[in-house]
Each structure stands twice: as C-alpha cells, then as structure tokens.
Amino acid sequence: MTTTARTSTAAALSPSAHAITDSPLGPLTLVTREGGLAGVYMTQQRHLPSRETFGPQVAVTEIPVLARAAEQLTAYFAGEVTAFDIDLSTSGTPFQCRVWAALRDIPYGETVSYGELASALGRPTASRAVGLANGKNPHSIIVPCHRVVGADGSMTGYGGGVERKRWLLSFENGAHQPVLS
C-alpha cells in the first residue's frame, strides 16, 4: 500500500475538523482538511499546531478520511498492515514536502540516518535541515519519521517523544510493547 499526498506550500490553510482515536501510544488527534488527512498528533507533540486550527471535534466515524485513518492505524498496531493508503492534505515548504515524501520510502521495520536521507534527496550536507523538516512532519506514524535515527543509530529527537520513537521501532521489529499513556 502507498500513501498519496496532495501538497500545498500555503501553510496557513486551516483544517476543517478533528477526531480523537485511541492507540497503544495514547490518544491520537486526527485532523482533516480539504478531504485529506492533515495531521496525526500525539499527546505532548512537539511542533503541535494551535488547537484552534483543528476545527470542530467530530466522531471519528463522521468523516470518511478520519474513519479510514483510524481503521488503518488500528490495523497497523494490530500488526496487520505495514504501510498506509490514505489521502493526505499536506502543507509545508517545498523542501519539507520532499523530506516527508522520502520518509514514505523507508521500509517498515528499517531505519535510515538523517545524513542518508539528505543524500537520498541529493543534498548530502543538509542533514540538519532534514532533521528540522522531519521534526515538523504533521503525519506521525503514517509518514514514518520515527524511522530516522542518528548517524550512529542512536535514538535522536522525535515529535512525540523519544520513548514513543523507541516503542514504534521496537514494535516494527516484532517486540511486544506495553501500552504508553
């Protein structure tokens, strides 16, 4: 399965609605805009947009893209899917959008370093810029920014917290993981 994305460089577009769904990592806020999934945010998310931009809260089943995202996330956490097939509504700079697109090419259960990702983008000296773009990924889990690690394989920052990054990577490698809150 693949994730499709509609990209916009207009970062000021406001989402139309949001819903909360449970996960082993704690509640996830799913945001929709323009018929696509605009964000998947964890509690205590770094770079969390203002909640006022999320639009009204709805039941996850009220909007098809939110229902589809919740279903696929549930299947992911059950070990039934390794990739997502969800229309994304993405706002970011052209460079951020390139980084986020490249993240979707990292296979399930594998990792790459920030430098390797920068090289894959044809910008081998841009590992810091890749790290900044990675940290602002609005689609946690679905666009797998957790699969990017330090050059030495170390657990570096993650928007949802390093403990969630460690959890996701261990989960993808077959380790049974406790529920986080």
Catalytic residues: 145
Q: Which residues pair with 7 in a beta bridge?
A: 90
What is the rounded distance in angstroms from the CA atom of residue 149 to the CA atom of residue 60?
32
Asked if residue 7 lies in contact with residue 97, where contact means CB atoms within 8 angstroms, the answer is yes
Q: What is the DSSP string of 14-64?
A: PP-EEEEE--TTS-EEEEEETTEEEEEEETT-TTPPPGGGG--B--GGGSH
142-164 burial, b if ≥16 CB within 10 A, otherwise e?
bbbbbbbbeeeeeebebbbbeeb
How many CA atoms lie within 13 Å of 179's alpha carbon, on the beta-carbon side? Answer: 7
What is the rounded distance in angstroms from the CA atom of residue 38 to the CA atom of residue 19?
12
What is the rounded distance in angstroms from the CA atom of residue 42 to the CA atom of residue 48?
9
Identity of residue 154: S
